[in-house]
Amino acid sequence: MHIICKLATSTHTPEKKNKKKEKLQAISPPKGTPSSKADDFLPNEVAQGQKELEDALQEKIDAKFAFLKKLDPKCNTTAELIDRAKHIKILAGLEEELDLLRERQRVEEVVQRHREQHPPQMQECPICLEDIEIISAQENMVSMICCGKEMCLDCALKYPPTVSKSCPMCQACLIGTCESSMQNMTQCAERGVAWAQRKLGFIYLDGGELAATPDQGIVVGAERPVDVKRGLELLQLAADQDDAPAICKLANHYNIGEHGIEQDQSTARALYLKAANLGDRGAQKMSAIQFDCGRGGGKDVEKAVYYATLAMNHGDTNSAQRLGNFFCERPSAVEDEEEEDEDGGDEEGGDEEGSIKSDYVAKHYYKLALKGGCDDGAYYSLAAHITRMNSQQSSGMCIPGHTCIPVALYLLRKGADNGDSKAIAMERSFVAHYQKHCANNDCANRSKAAKPEKLKQCVQCKALCYCCKECQVQHWKDGHKIDCVKYNAPLEDVLARI
């Protein structure tokens, strides 16, 4: 046995913890206890007693780290490797809990800071008379094409227009033709209703059918002819009223240069920033990209993290993946993927010295991206990330019960199925390395490469191979039963184990 387990360098040693904390709080001021959606994305820790929780976790980390330093680093048997790996796993769990606790606080502070500097747009519901905060693309308001008024979702559910077939505000009949719906929307736009100007502008720019839902009194009908000039005029009218989605749409046109608009990254950046500060999720995502890549101005990693955090907090999973790249301790191990924005423009993420780092937070955001359905390189990113983390904690990643090989190969296969070239290449590398030797650490023939057809593959994970049944049974008892994951298991079950 020549596998030597190395002690993972703790990122939370006493001499580093203050510097680490300063980096984690680099982009947000230490004030206020904000109200945000951070609980939907990060562990549900109580904000009160933050300092006490951090101190208690740090004390446990210091004690476990001191204990590990006293252990003999030269492990010569599988049992010794497993015993040491158990303590390293406990240390890693404590470090992860502390980093995620601090990250949750950072997210809350970013959201609170943004709300203080850019108070959210509010709109009164004409039915319940409650002030409703306008969120991204007015997702929490229902617009009526007859009178142009908007009501909150709660009132729309309480007085559903689809049941009464009439507007609950003006009592107008909602049954009509496509032409009458278009006429009503045009009248609303002429009266200066911003949402109508924006939607009508989208129709004139993109053509196609009048896309909306019957409960708004809009009937899907024949295709509309494209009128770029009229569409841009309507978008500009809506943008002049601080309609964030309209501003973001104009920014998209400047970003890629279409509809007769000359490409102007500087203008696009300014428009994205304006819409982002008004609360538009898509604009927040694009602002993060602009600042990260330095398009339309200088590169600013702190602002990129700031706006990616806001977009993530509004549910944008692409921004969660970008945050994973920002937090990754060694971004060179997970190359920044090319990100294609919603209008076809390619953007490339990056990293800069001084940006905040935490492997545990990076892993969390990669998992969040996959949970939200983001598959644009996220499988590869998470697989490469956990592989590197695992290799830092145990050389060779061959300790039964503490290896990520089955899970990593599961993710790579998922990415390969989606056509990700990086996932395909890494999957081939894994297969070439781990499926030519018996996985049992105590096997006398382990050092000898064998032909794949002479090895028996684990039928569940299809990741590790064995020279005989005896080796497979022993490795299963040693810990493969913990590591093994069915190759066709549901994604959510696999992510819960990482």
Residue type, 403: T
The whole-number pLDDT of residue 136 equals 58
The whole-number pLDDT of residue 453 equals 66
pTM (two decimals): 0.79
* Per-residue pLDDT of the chain in tens (498 residues, 90 and over written 9): 232 233 334 445 545 445 444 444 444 433 333 344 444 444 444 455 778 888 899 999 999 988 888 877 676 677 878 888 888 889 999 999 999 999 998 999 999 999 999 998 888 888 888 888 876 555 678 888 888 888 888 888 888 876 767 788 888 877 666 677 788 888 899 999 998 899 888 888 876 555 444 444 444 444 566 788 888 999 999 999 999 999 999 999 999 888 788 899 999 999 999 999 998 999 999 999 999 999 888 899 999 999 999 999 988 999 999 999 999 865 433 344 434 444 444 444 444 444 468 999 999 999 999 998 887 789 999 999 999 888 887 655 678 888 999 999 999 999 999 999 999 999 999 888 887 888 888 888 776 766 666 788 899 999 998 988 999 999 999 899 999 999 899 999 999 998
In sequence order, what are the residues at sequence separation of 6 or more whose Cβ sits closer than 8 angstroms to the Cβ of residue 429? Answer: none
pLDDT tens digits for 192-221? 999 889 988 888 887 655 544 444 444 444
pLDDT tens digits for 47-68? 557 788 888 999 999 999 888 8
The whole-number pLDDT of residue 180 equals 76
The whole-number pLDDT of residue 10 equals 45
